[in-house]
Amino acid sequence: MVLFRLCSLLATAAYLSAYASFLPVPRAATPIWETLPPTPTLPGNPVGTKTPINGVQIWHAEFGTKKASDLPVIMLHGAMASSRWWGAEVEQLMKKHYVIVMDTRGHGRSTMDDTPFSYDLFAQDTAALLKTLGISKAAWIGWSDGGNSILSALLDPKIAPMVARGFTTGANHNTTALNATYGDTQMIYTAYDRVVAETEELQSHENRTILESALDTLGSTQPMWTKADLQKITLGSKLTLSWGDHEEVINLSEAAFMHDAIPNSKLVLAKNVSHFGLVQDPKQFTTILEKFLA
């Protein structure tokens, strides 16, 4: 898992988070990359639909107008989060595009079973959902674990043709690319507390702890792609790789490495944001996505 590989560590660190709240607040303005604005809601707060996919129930919602002439857009979120985190971008993109959001299995309003998590499985779930919607090709947009799921899709000969365009933000090719110290930041404590609360709004406490365990295993073992693996991705300039220029979860060296490894891919560094750029500066993020989709 990308976003919360240190779930178990962060649970232990909750005490430190509580203690930190008693410390004096600095008067200097906090840089945007050190903030975590409120999680947005999806436009209209949709009821959505649950669809049987690969043994579980996958929740999704659709926005905008579906036109045969337009390329559909599907947006994938990060670990322990939900499709809500894309809310601000969806609100703007839906004006010109048909947009689908889905909750990854075990997240948000989607269920899970005892099948071990993998990015291959997440990619298969996404492809299966698109097929049930009668969609053969789409633009795939993924944050964090969602980005890794897109890379997995592009490495699967059966799914790759369904990715007409791909956009990843905060992805990584290998577990060694994770910043070993990111779990020590107040930002991550705050993010963890938030996604725990959000998950338990939609699921039971027991389900949340099972989810964390599954993600902890995923994050400590995957992905394990090599440069040779990435070189097999053939989407070329239709694949955009993005990170925040203050990325704190992934070593920023991933940007040059992955861009160099994937032939003809595009590289974008979002300015003055971190791993959470989609909520820190949604206006900038939407502009980047509109350019990607143009």
Cα torsion 130, 132, 137, 143 to 10°: value is 0
What pLDDT is recorded for position 1? 53
User: Which CATH superfamily is 48-173+222-293 part of?
Assistant: Alpha/Beta hydrolase fold, catalytic domain (3.40.50.1820)
Residues facing residue 49 across a β-bridge: 60
What pLDDT is recorded for position 28? 74
- What helix, strand, coil percent values describe the chain, rounded to 5? 45, 15, 40
Backbone angles phi, psi at 213, to 5 degrees: -65, -45
Helix (H) or strand (E) holding 212: helix 205-221
Backbone angles phi, psi at 98, to 5 degrees: -90, 115
Query: pLDDT means per 10 residues in the chain (294 residues)?
Result: 49 43 61 97 98 99 93 99 99 98 98 98 99 98 99 99 99 96 88 97 94 97 98 99 98 98 99 99 99 97
Model pLDDT for residues 196-241, shown as the tens digit of each residue: 999 999 999 999 999 999 999 999 999 999 999 999 999 999 999 9
All residues at 6 or more sequence positions from 103 whose CB lies less than 8 Å from its CB, including other chains: 58, 59, 60, 77, 82, 83, 109, 110
All residues at 6 or more sequence positions from 239 whose CB lies less than 8 Å from its CB, including other chains: 154, 165, 166, 167, 168, 233, 262, 265, 266
Angle 268-270-272 (CA atoms, 0-180°, nearest 5)? Answer: 150
Is the CB of residue 269 less than 8 Å from the CB of residue 244? yes
Model pLDDT for residues 75-99, shown as the tens digit of each residue: 999 999 999 999 999 999 999 999 9
Q: What is the CA radius of gyration of the chain?
A: 18
All residues at 6 or more sequence positions from 208 whose CB lies less than 8 Å from its CB, including other chains: 196, 199, 200
